[in-house]
Structure 1
Amino acid sequence: MVEIFILSMIAGTVSGLFAGLFGIGGGLILVPILVFLFKAQGFAADFIMHMAVATSLATIVLTSISATLAHHRLKSVIWGKVYSLVPGIVIGSVLGAVIADTISADSLRIIFAIFLLYIGFQMAFQIKPEAGAMQQSPFLDAVVSIVIGILSSMLGIGGGTMTVPYLVRGQFPVRNAVGIASACGLPIAFGGTLSYMLLGFEKTGLPAGSWGYVYLPAFAGIVLLSMVTAPLGAKLAHKLPAQTMKSYFSLLIFIMAAKLLSE
């Protein structure tokens, strides 16, 4: 337990740094790392992927609060849009956890790897969301937010990679889209984490230190340092060649996806 706490601190350092550097959710990095850590610790194979996703979501609860407050101070969060998206996001995050609990660890791992490949291609080819003139009604917000909540909860991410493009196509400036997406990350993480905790309580064979599917030693180690290194990554983003760094990072994502697919 002590060993994985220390290794999780390293994971938190890396995920926080990359999250700040590239403006992506730490879950994209955390979930694969946690899968490898949990496997090395000999955890039950049937639970490893679910535990990685749930633990990642638990860390996002805290990091999203910090990010939302920062964006709120910069006046980039349009709360009216947040309130329009939150009900569907909460419903979706609960549904996503329930769906993930009903499918095998292998299926969940493949779904996550495919999503990694999707993000990797976006970063490798510098694909950015294009501004559009989509009319976003309350009904469309409800449908899209449920889908975002489901996928985010299944993948252990904050949903920004899906929320931001949707908002930009609805004519929201990127600055506001990122602020809104950050605020929406909290209900995704909270709803998903709580659901994974409740769903995991009935499982036998989870390692000591688990609270449902959430593995507390890993959660503590990640949170301890990720909230410190994320601001550092954001500062480095203004000093390093962004396009080159994204190319290297996309290569890392492809490697992680390939590793997950070969497990």
Structure 2
Amino acid sequence: MRQFEWPMVSSGEVAVISGEVIVMLVLLGAFVGVAAGLFGIGGGGIFVPALSALFLNLGFPTEEIMHMALGTSMATIIATSTASAWAHHKRGGVIWPSWRAMTPGVFVGTFLATFLVAQLNAHALAVFFALFMSLVAWQMWFPLRVQSSSEPGRLELATAGGVIGAISALVSIGGGSLTVPYLHWRNHKLTDAIGTSAALGLPIAITGSLGYLVNGWQHTQLASGQLGFIYLPAVVVLTVASVLTAPLGVRLAHWLPVPILKKLFGLLIVVISVRMIWQVWQA
């Protein structure tokens, strides 16, 4: 097993991240930002495999790299989901009664799932993540186009919120790949389903980040940039880069063949997820 070394050096209580790592994180955040604007999806499918590879190469303990990748990715969703939710709200695209009904379940499901993550090893987490991303890719290739004849009640919405929150915490996503199809199936207009899903990403991100912080607290080393299972320098760089480049993706969506590119992107997340399994297993 390789010797563990922190990827930063500390001066007092100030962590100094290397320029090479900053460049990699900026490029990663920029790519995800463009993809988010272009396809209207979150960055967890790219962030988690990329961060796990980065943490592995930087010398983080092998048994913690998936937990760190999931926690760090989840923390980046806070800022992006806030901006997205506000944009949809201004356009009247958030169905707040549905959001309020789903949020209690989201809080419970997301927070409890982080405790499950803490008990699972990196291999199990990598396999579950790859399987889920394969389902997301399948949805990109063959999107569901059915709707029910009625709208859901509050109990169903709360239960759905709990399930969506739990799965979102396990794979570190904002829940859009689950919330949008569910709400659209349950008789919400697609634009309303997207807007409500964007707003629901905020409680998922906040609760999930808190859970990863609590469960990884014994590993916290602030001088090295780690807060629980969250790597703070990566959160800052990825958030800034992705938020700045997301508008470019939105503009590109108006003249690029998005349906074809979305299918290729679905294939990409499957490939990098499978590669992540191989890297984790070989570590």
Specify if TM > 0.5: yes
Identify the residue that residue 113 of structure 1 maps to in structure 2. 130
CA distance in 1, matches of 2:256, 2:124: 37
SS at match of 2:25: helix
Identify the residue that residue 197 of structure 2 maps to in structure 1. 181
- Consecutive unaligned residues of structure 1, counting only runs of 5 or more, are none
Check the 8 A contact 1:43/1:206 in 2, yes or no: no
AA partner of residue 222 (structure 1): L
Q: Does 1:89 align with 2:80?
A: no
TM-score when scaled to structure 2? 0.89
AA partner of residue 109 (structure 2): G
Check the 8 A contact 2:102/2:159 in 1, yes or no: no
- Give the deviation of 1:134 after TM superposition: 4.6
Q: Does 1:101 align with 2:118?
A: yes
Within 5 Å, which residues of 2 pair with 1:1-263? Answer: 1-2=17-18, 3-123=20-140, 125-203=141-219, 208-263=224-279
CA distance in 1, matches of 2:204, 2:276: 24
Identify the residue that residue 13 of structure 2 maps to in structure 1. none
CA distance in 2, matches of 1:13, 1:57: 17
Check the 8 A contact 2:67/2:122 in 1, yes or no: yes
TM-score when scaled to structure 1? 0.95
CA distance in 2, matches of 1:213, 1:206: 12
Check the 8 A contact 1:5/1:220 in 2, yes or no: no
CA distance in 2, matches of 1:205, 1:219: 15
- Give the deviation of 1:4 after TM superposition: 2.3
CA distance in 2, matches of 1:100, 1:167: 27
Check the 8 A contact 2:75/2:205 in 1, yes or no: yes
SS at match of 2:224: coil
Q: Deviations over 1:99-158 (max 9, x none)?
A: 1011111111110000111112222x3323422225411111121110100110111100
- Give the deviation of 1:35 after TM superposition: 0.9
195-204 vs 43-52, which moves further: 195-204
207-216 vs 222-231, which moves further: 207-216
SS at match of 2:92: coil
**Structure 1 residues 90 and 194, CA, compared in 2 at 3 Å: closer, same or farther?**
same
**Percent sequence identity over aligned pairs:** 38
- Give the deviation of 1:262 after TM superposition: 1.9
SS at match of 2:218: coil
AA partner of residue 55 (structure 1): T
Check the 8 A contact 1:130/1:165 in 2, yes or no: no
Q: Deviations over 1:171-222 (max 9, x none)?
A: 1000000000000000000000011111111137999210111001111110
- Consecutive unaligned residues of structure 2, counting only runs of 5 or more, are 1-16
CA distance in 1, matches of 2:96, 2:154: 14
Check the 8 A contact 1:197/1:213 in 2, yes or no: yes
**Structure 1 residues 207 and 261, CA, compared in 2 at 3 Å: closer, same or farther?**
farther
Check the 8 A contact 1:44/1:205 in 2, yes or no: no
Q: Deviations over 1:155-176 (max 9, x none)?
A: 1100010001110111100000
